[in-house]
Structure 1
Amino acid sequence: MGAYADTESTLVRLTQRGVVLGVVSDVGWDLRATFAHHGLDHYFSSWVHSYEHDTEKPDPLLFQHACRELGVAPEETLMVGDPPAKDGGAAGAGLRSYVLPGRATPGSRRGLDAVLRLADRV
């Protein structure tokens, strides 16, 4: 996993606004080291890995667990992810969801400026 060019600037702006951030992932390992490798781990205060919960996305329970860990209500939460078949489970858990369009090459801009606009509406 490589970071996109607009990842860190988006995370900085969200945390400056007081937005708490979490990760919900289906990969079979703990993502903290990967995020740390890119200098991004410190932006996140919740890490929900499906392998630790004996289920996988799109199970709404994973997204609900992340909300509890973050101390936020699902209806006050914006989930950003891809692909829709997996991350659509967030909507089933009551979260607002933004599924990133298409695929992008690591190092390119991902269009995360839309996340900043959407976060203002949650």
Structure 2
Amino acid sequence: MFDFSGTLFRLEENDSWSEHLVDHTGAPLDVHAQAELMRRMTAPVGRTVEMDEAGIHAWENRDRDPALHRRAYLDVLSKSGVPDPVRATALYDLLIDPNQWVPYPDTGEVLKTLSENGIRTAVLSNIAFDIRPAFADRGWDTWVDEFVLSFEVGAVKPEAAIFEYALAQLDVDADRTLMVGDSDVADGAARDVGCAFALVQPLPTTERPHALLDAVRKFDLL
């Protein structure tokens, strides 16, 4: 089982982002502000800005409900140097566009090899939008047996229910399953239901060429 964000794919800005990455005066955000903004938009756990009670509710339930997801991230953007609601909305739309997500260099190879070796796989993600197009557009969806997305199943990591659902869909026992993810808290909770766990770092895609291959090889899956 693989996490999506920071594990198989990473959200990385490109030229289409530049017109929206500006502050309240219209000046471009500096490289450090941009990096922090991307971190806040992709952090798997924990609140990244101060929030009121309604904001906390939206943040804590963002991956169960697309409407709350939108509200939560527009709040984060407005408090992270992008106060203009038009620009914040444009950035949010990039966040939920599967085509904006960049695969790690070994993602396709790992999924293809596991599939060819008869090992069933699932993409198990806390997310509020459909990520299947990111795989289908590359022809990789044929190598993924199940997509278990929190907003579709009504459970989020680290809750046991989402791991148990994925295991049932794969029809495999936990003690024969490896979870690979970038969060020891969220993804690592798979250990609580009996799975093995491999941690990868959510580095820029150019800086992490073979972590997925290393993870599955360590557990003798390749």
Q: Shorter-chain TM-score: what band?
A: 0.7 to 0.9
> Distance between the aligned counterparts of 1:67 and 1:40, measured in 2?
21
Picking from 134, 145, 149, the partner of 1:49 is 149
Return the offset for 1:108. 5.0
> Distance between the aligned counterparts of 2:206 and 2:139, measured in 1?
15
Picking from 174, 179, 184, the partner of 1:84 is 184
**106 and 37 in structure 1: CA distance in 2 versus 1, 3 angstrom threshold:** farther
Aligned residue identity for 1:50: S
Q: Which sits farther off after the overlay, 80-89 or 61-70?
A: 80-89
TM-score by length of 1: 0.86
Question: What are the Cα deviations for residues 55-109 of structure 1, in whole angstroms up to 9, with x where unaligned?
Answer: 2111111111111111100110001111222112211121101011342326851
Aligned residue identity for 1:9: E
After TM superposition, the structure 1 = structure 2 runs for residues 1-122 of structure 1, keeping only pairs within 5 Å, are: 1-105=101-205, 109-120=209-220
Structure showing greater Rg: 2
**101 and 55 in structure 1: CA distance in 2 versus 1, 3 angstrom threshold:** same
> Distance between the aligned counterparts of 2:187 and 2:208, measured in 1?
22
> Distance between the aligned counterparts of 1:55 and 1:14, measured in 2?
26
> Distance between the aligned counterparts of 1:25 and 1:106, measured in 2?
22
1:112 match: secondary structure: helix
By relative contact order (CA 8 Å, sep 6+), the higher-ranking structure is 1
> Distance between the aligned counterparts of 1:29 and 1:107, measured in 2?
27
TM-score by length of 2: 0.50
Aligned-pair identity (%): 31
> Distance between the aligned counterparts of 1:113 and 1:53, measured in 2?
28
1:20 match: secondary structure: coil
**33 and 107 in structure 1: CA distance in 2 versus 1, 3 angstrom threshold:** farther
Give the ranges of 4+ consecutive aligned residues of structure 1 lying more than 3 Å apart after TM superposition: none
Task: Tell me what 2:50 maps to.
Answer: none
CA contact (8 A) 1:63 1:93 kept: yes
Q: Which sits farther off after the overlay, 16-25 or 111-120?
A: 111-120
> Distance between the aligned counterparts of 2:185 and 2:152, measured in 1?
21
CA RMSD of aligned residues (A): 1.9
**114 and 53 in structure 1: CA distance in 2 versus 1, 3 angstrom threshold:** same
